[in-house]
Amino acid sequence: MNPKELYLSKPWLKHYTEGVPAEVEIPDISVPQLFDEVVAKYGQKTFVIFYGKKLNYLELKDAVDRMATALADLGVIQGDTVALYLLNSPQYIISYLATLRLGAKVTPISPVYTSIEVKHQIEDSDAKTAICQDILYDNLDKADVSLDRVILTSIGEYLPALKKLFGGKGTQAREYEGKPAPKIDSITKYRAYAFQDLLKKYPPNPPEVSIDPAKDLAVLPYTGGTTGLPKAAMLTHRNLIALTRQVQAFWTIFEEGKEVVIAFLPFFHIYGQVVVMLSGMSQGYTLVLFTTPDIEEILSAMERYQASAFYGVPTLFQFLTEYEKTDRINWKKLKLIACGADTLHEATVDAWEKRTGATIYEGYGMTETTAVSHSTPHQRSKKGSFGIPIPGVKAAVINHEGTEYLPVGEVGEMVLSGPNIMRGYWKRPDGTAESMMELDGEVWLRTGDLVSMDEEGYFHFFDRKRDLIKYKGYSVFARHVEEVLYQHPQIKAAGVVGVPNPAVGAVIKAYVVLESEARGKISEEEIIAFCHEKLAHYKVPKIIEFRGELPKTDVGKVSRRELREENEET
């Protein structure tokens, strides 16, 4: 069988759990229609638990419809963009679904963005309405953007009485504590409204809007970008509906309407937004919601509410392997412990399994794939693999400089096709043309990730195409070098980049964070000697730089892009 035929035969299907279909039927409905169906089925069931405050599906629907009515009266129409500049909260879910009910689209903004980044996203997305956390307003004000209206809301609005009494302590990320919360009448730059005032003023009677799920955009989430400013992936209602159905079909271990999910992953990020918030909503789950990942509170909530699923990122699992209170939870009782958003280092997997006896199920996805394309099948994990394509997804490995299908085991660029793949990049036709290609009459997404597929159809990640280091003609994967560095018992974190050098192409440089007790005691030469024992000579870093910490992305990845930019500046 030639490589093309092999990929199209989907060899991974034989590893699907019993009952998982190869394809899924995607209903021709919008996200608001799906929400209405779930409310009709599970209206009295608790949808959100927010620091002890419980809200059922009917209560959330009432608020969604009131906010949609308000937004329509304030001038939001079908096709508009509404910026959500919010922490995880009931208001996030309400604002998200209310915007979509009007046929408008949301653009979720990271709460840790600088005012320059906020300005770029609001202007690039054409947003004229912003729903903003009051403690984030100062940054929006500094962004100095042109908006028709701003709606302010406070975390305290949905806290139980006792939490309100103590000022909501512990419910806001540390970096926001102490920030001023402006009064509505003090805002003169924009027409400003109070979230709760709008809910009280308007009835739950939004205008009827006809939405074409396959064509109408629902979300403009911004990707980190390889260079320059972030760009938005255009995700339709069909993309979102498809992903919820694909995930539901793949994880047959879950029972509709009966699961409890800890929801601390940020909703502005595609992982938290779709895998946790939307997928949880679509199946009638209860979400135990946190504004910020306070580990002690999360572990307490897992015990109290008997959580059945836990979604995290690699840095969190690394932290939990060393955290003194991790053993409070019997992790083996959970139905699913999932990891995404970055590469899970094998050293972390080993430490986790030794500490808890439980399995982490790794997955893969991008903003452009509506969060997921691959996942590890239940009870069939393979160390070093991020799993197999979920139902409805086609995957292949091609030459990263062309379109030739590569044989099993060879490293190349992963391409994907399926109902969860974005329409393209917002206002970036050149970027869309580079990323979306036609192959054998079908549109595929070029992921920019270098992977291989083994004989069983499991995929293995090597690196981002942009992170491939060329040294004297050799290809060096930054991630491979990082994996070795993480094996050193005194290395806490590492990031590897190529430093341009005309004589050799690029010199390998490693940024290293040592454990506190090792700082000042381990030299650069010792780290290089350690690498020489485990790596071919051309893969060994030539430069080691010790740091107290490394730059991170919004979801805790080591940001190689920022490390590269630092080198360029110096």
> Pairing between strand 81-85 and 105-108?
parallel
Asked if residue 528 is part of any domain, the answer here is: yes
> For residue 392, what are the CA distances in angstroms to 239, 274, 470, 503, 507?
12, 17, 36, 47, 41
Rounded CA-CA distance 414/215 in Å is: 26
Asked if residue 510 is part of any domain, the answer here is: yes
* 324 vs 315, residue with greater confidence: 324
Per-residue pLDDT at 475 exceeds 80? no
Asked if residue 348 is part of any domain, the answer here is: no
pLDDT at 180: 64
Asked if residue 177 is part of any domain, the answer here is: yes
User: What kind and span of H or E run contains 301?
Assistant: helix 295-305
pLDDT at 175: 47
Write out the DSSP string of 423-442.
--BTT-HHHHHHHEEEETTE
Asked if residue 69 is part of any domain, the answer here is: yes
Rounded CA-CA distance 366/418 in Å is: 13
Rounded CA-CA distance 324/213 in Å is: 47
Write out the DSSP string of 235-297.
EEHHHHHHHHHHHHHH-TT--TT--EEEE-S-TTSHIIIIIIIIHHHHTT-EEEE-SS--HHH
Residue ending a domain, among 181, 216, 251, is 216
Identity of the residue numbered 168: G
Cβ of 570: how many Cβ atoms within 10 Å? 6
Closest CA to 239 of 25, 429, 428, 423: 423
Please give the radius of gyration of the chain, using alpha carbons only, rounded to the nearest integer.
24
- Give the least confident one: 25-39, 184-198, 385-399, 409-423: 184-198
Q: Which CATH number goes with the domain that contains 537?
A: 3.30.300.30
Domain count, the chain: 2
pLDDT at 468: 83
Per-residue pLDDT at 479 exceeds 90? no
Per-residue pLDDT at 123 exceeds 60? yes
Asked if residue 178 is part of any domain, the answer here is: yes
Tens of pLDDT, residues 143-195 = 999 999 999 999 999 998 766 545 555 555 444 555 667 878 788 889 999 99
- Give the least confident one: 90-99, 128-137, 258-267, 378-387: 378-387
Rounded CA-CA distance 137/176 in Å is: 11
Identity of the residue numbered 32: P
Mean pLDDT of 379-399: 95
Q: How confident is the model at residue 401 (pLDDT cuts 50, 70, 90)?
A: confident
CB-CB contact of 340 with 556 (8 Å): no
Rounded CA-CA distance 83/128 in Å is: 8
Rounded CA-CA distance 373/62 in Å is: 34
Per-residue pLDDT at 24 exceeds 80? yes
> For residue 454, what are the CA distances in angstroms to 360, 376, 382, 424, 460?
20, 14, 11, 29, 8
User: Crossing angle of helices 524-534/478-486, nearest 10°?
Assistant: 110
Rounded CA-CA distance 328/303 in Å is: 8
Reported residue count of the chain is 570
Asked if residue 94 is part of any domain, the answer here is: yes
CB-CB contact of 363 with 246 (8 Å): no
Per residue, the 3-state secondary structure of 331-387, as one string, reads HHHCCEEEECCCCCCHHHHHHHHHHHCCCCEEEECCHHHCCCCEECCCCCCCCCCCE
> Which tokens go with 111?
């709460």
Residue ending a domain, among 216, 240, 256, is 216
Domain that holds residue 206: 54-216
CB-CB contact of 360 with 339 (8 Å): yes
Tens of pLDDT, residues 332-349 = 999 999 999 888 888 889
The per-residue b/e assignment along 65-102, b for 16 or more CB within 10 angstroms, e otherwise, is: bbbbbbbbeeebeeebbbbbbbbbbbbbbbbbbbbbbb
Tens of pLDDT, residues 126-142 = 999 999 999 999 999 99
Rounded CA-CA distance 522/510 in Å is: 15
- Cα 447–449–450 angle (5° rounding)? 135
pLDDT at 502: 81
The pTM assigned to this predicted structure is 0.88
Q: How confident is the model at residue 72 (pLDDT cuts 50, 70, 90)?
A: very high
CB-CB contact of 514 with 491 (8 Å): yes
> Which tokens go with 484?
């070795």
Mean pLDDT of 37-51: 98
Mean pLDDT of 373-390: 94
Q: Which CATH number goes with the domain that contains 209?
A: 3.40.50.980
Tens of pLDDT, residues 431-444 = 999 999 998 888 99
Distance from CA of residue 97 to its chain's centroid?
Answer: 19
Asked if residue 359 is part of any domain, the answer here is: no
Residue ending a domain, among 183, 216, 249, is 216
